[in-house]
């Protein structure tokens, strides 16, 4: 275990040393290249900041308005037919929207039901098999100035739905 700790502590300094050494061997102006990259990174942050602010405001409104509870109430009969646990539904709804929100919900599920329960396992598999779709689309499309995201959004949400449903099925098949 100590060797792993030692290697992980040295990983970043060694990587920086390798990059600087390579730059010097190739006779590049390493610090100038670093500054240029930092400048481009700051410009990227400022270009996507309005998108992020809008997305975070929308996520906050969704989480604290109680609309998730209303949605879950209306689709509970369908969930019961397909044996989808109601306890996991807030995670399934919020996961494509917010990474931090879905982590909070998954953590709450783990605290309330346990990590080794069927609900805890389903929540874990959902977290690992889905993406924060709206956040990812917002970031990538705003970086390259794409305005028409309708089909990207549809395909991504279908992939998330499939990931969520398959998570429930696989956990059901692998039930102890």
pLDDT at position 176 is: 60
- Region 32-37: mean pLDDT is 87
- Do 4 and 76 belong together in one domain? no
Whether residue 128 is predicted with pLDDT greater than 70 in this model: the reply is yes
Within-domain flag for 57: no
- Do 83 and 164 belong together in one domain? yes
DSSP string, 62-125: HHHHSHHHHHHHHHHHHHHHTT--GGGHHHHHHTTT-HHHHHHHHHHHHHHH-TTSHHHHHHHH
Can you say whether the dihedral through the CA atoms of 168, 172, 174, 176 is positive or negative?
A: positive
Alpha carbon separation from 134 to 21, 115, 145 (Å, rounded): 40, 27, 16
Instruction: Give the number of domains in the chain.
Output: 2
Residue 29, SS3 per DSSP: coil
Domain span holding position 118: 66-173
- Do 98 and 152 belong together in one domain? yes
pTM equals: 0.66
- Do 141 and 74 belong together in one domain? yes
- Do 31 and 79 belong together in one domain? no
Alpha-carbon Rg for the chain in angstroms = 22
Within-domain flag for 55: no
Nearest-10 Cα torsion for 53, 57, 58, 63: 140
Within-domain flag for 124: yes
Q: pLDDT class for 34, splitting at 50, 70, 90? A: confident
Mind listing the pLDDT tens digit for each residue in 83-115?
889 889 889 988 888 787 788 888 989 999 998
- Do 30 and 95 belong together in one domain? no
- How far is residue 68's CA from residue 52's CA, in Å, rounded to a whole number? 21
- Do 85 and 113 belong together in one domain? yes
- Do 76 and 147 belong together in one domain? yes
Within-domain flag for 29: yes
Percent of the chain with pLDDT over 90: 18
Q: pLDDT class for 166, splitting at 50, 70, 90? A: very high
136 neighbors 101 (Cβ within 8 angstroms): no
Within-domain flag for 60: no
Whether residue 126 is predicted with pLDDT greater than 90 in this model: the reply is yes
Within-domain flag for 33: yes
- Do 34 and 70 belong together in one domain? no
Lookup: tokens for 163: 């990931």
Within-domain flag for 53: no
pLDDT at position 125 is: 93
DSSP string, 115-171: TTSHHHHHHHHHHHH---HHHHHHHHHHHTT----HHHHHHHHHHHHHHHHHHHHHH
φ/ψ of 146, rounded to 5, equals: -90, 130
- Do 117 and 77 belong together in one domain? yes
């Amino acid at each position: 275990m100590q060797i792993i700790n030692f290697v992980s502590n040295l990983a970043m300094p060694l990587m920086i040393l390798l990059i600087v050494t390579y730059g010097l061997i190739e006779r590049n102006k390493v610090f100038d290249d670093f500054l240029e990259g930092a400048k481009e990174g700051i410009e990227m942050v400022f270009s996507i900041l309005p998108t992020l602010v809008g997305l975070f405001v929308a996520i906050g409104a969704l989480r604290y308005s109680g609309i998730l509870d209303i949605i879950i109430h209306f689709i509970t009969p369908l969930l019961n037919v397909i044996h989808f646990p109601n306890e996991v539904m807030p995670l399934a709804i919020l996961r494509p929207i917010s990474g931090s929100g879905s982590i909070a919900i998954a953590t709450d599920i783990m605290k309330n039901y346990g990590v080794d329960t069927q609900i805890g396992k389903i929540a874990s598999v959902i977290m690992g098999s889905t993406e924060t779709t709206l956040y990812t689309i917002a970031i990538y499309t705003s970086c390259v100035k794409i305005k028409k995201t309708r089909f990207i959004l549809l395909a991504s949400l279908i992939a998330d739905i499939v990931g969520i449903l398959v998570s429930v099925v696989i956990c059901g098949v692998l039930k102890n």
